[in-house]
Amino acid sequence: MVLLFAALMAIVVFFLTYGYFTQLHLHQEKILSLNLAIAKTLANDLSGDRHQRLFDHYPRKDDIRSAEQDIDYNNLHQKLRMAMESNGLTTDIYTLVRNPKEEGYLFAVTSGETPYYRHSYKLFPEAFVTKFNEGATLPPYTSENGHWLSAFSPIRNSNDEVVAVVQVDQNYSGFIAKTNRAIFLNSLLSLGIMLIIAVFLIRAIRKILDRDAQLHQDLSLSHQEVAQKNQDITDSIFYARKIQAAISPSVDRIRQVLPDSFVLNLPRDIVSGDFYWFAEVENKVVLAAVDCTGHGVPGAFMSMIGTILLNTICIQNEEIHPGTILNELDRQLIDSLRKNQESQAADGMDIALVVLDKETQELEFSGALRPLICQKGEDITVIRGDRYPIGGDYENKPEFTTHKLQLAKGESFFIFSDGYIDQFGGPHDKKFMMRRFKSCLHEFRQLSMADTQTKLHNTLLNWKMDQEQIDDVLVIGFRV
Number of C-beta neighbours around residue 262 at 10 A: 24
363 has pLDDT over 90: yes
Angle at alpha carbon of residue 456, lines to 264 and 288, rounded to 5°: 35
Percent of the chain's residues with pLDDT above 90: 53
CB neighbour class for 357 (10 Å; exposed up to 12, middle 13-18, buried from 19): middle
DSSP conformation class of 174 = H
Where are the domain boundaries for CATH 3.60.40.10 in the chain?
Answer: 249-479
Beta pairing partners, 150: 138, 169
Query: What's the pLDDT tens digit per position in 121-156?
Result: 877 778 888 888 999 998 787 776 778 888 999 999
Distance of CA 429 to CAs 68, 199, 339, 425, 464, Å? 86, 44, 42, 4, 8
With beta carbons less than 8 A apart as the criterion, state whether 82 and 119 touch. Answer: no
Query: What pLDDT sits at residue 222?
Result: 62
Query: What pLDDT sits at residue 235?
Result: 66
Query: What pLDDT sits at residue 438?
Result: 96
pTM of the complete model: 0.54
233 has pLDDT over 90: no
Query: What's the pLDDT tens digit per position in 313-348?
Result: 988 776 789 999 999 999 988 877 776 555 555 678
Please give the Cα distance from 259 to 253 (Å, whole number): 9
188 has pLDDT over 90: no
Mean residue pLDDT across the chain: 86
Query: What pLDDT sits at residue 219?
Result: 66
Query: What pLDDT sits at residue 106?
Result: 93
Q: Quick one: how far is CA 80 from the chain centroid?
A: 34
Q: In one letter, which amino acid is 41?
A: T
What is the mean pLDDT of the segment spanning 459-469?
93
CB within 8 A of 234, min separation 6: which ones? 270
Q: Which CATH class is domain 21-171?
A: alpha beta
Number of C-beta neighbours around residue 432 at 10 A: 20
Write out the DSSP string of 249-285.
PPHHHHHHHSSSEEEEEE-SSSS-SEEEEEEEETTEE
Query: What's the pLDDT tens digit per position in 255-273?
Result: 999 999 999 999 998 888 8
Q: Among 108, 105, 34, which Cα is nearest to 76's? A: 108
CATH number of 249-479: 3.60.40.10, 3.40.50.880, 1.10.1200.10, 3.30.70.100?
3.60.40.10
Where are the domain boundaries for CATH 3.30.450.20 in the chain?
Answer: 21-171
Query: What pLDDT sits at residue 362?
Result: 96
Lowest mean pLDDT among 92-96, 97-101, 327-331: 97-101
Angle at alpha carbon of residue 420, lines to 419 and 425, rounded to 5°: 105
Please give the Cα distance from 409 to 399 (Å, whole number): 31
Strand segments, DSSP code E, in 6-71 are none
Query: What's the pLDDT tens digit per position in 395-433?
Result: 788 999 999 999 999 999 999 999 999 999 999 999 999
Query: What pLDDT sits at residue 340?
Result: 56
Q: State the pLDDT confidence band at 453, using cuts at 50, 70 and 90.
A: very high
Buried b (16+ CB within 10 A) or exposed e, 225-249: beeebeebeeebbebbeebbeebbb
Please give the Cα distance from 386 to 388 (Å, whole number): 6
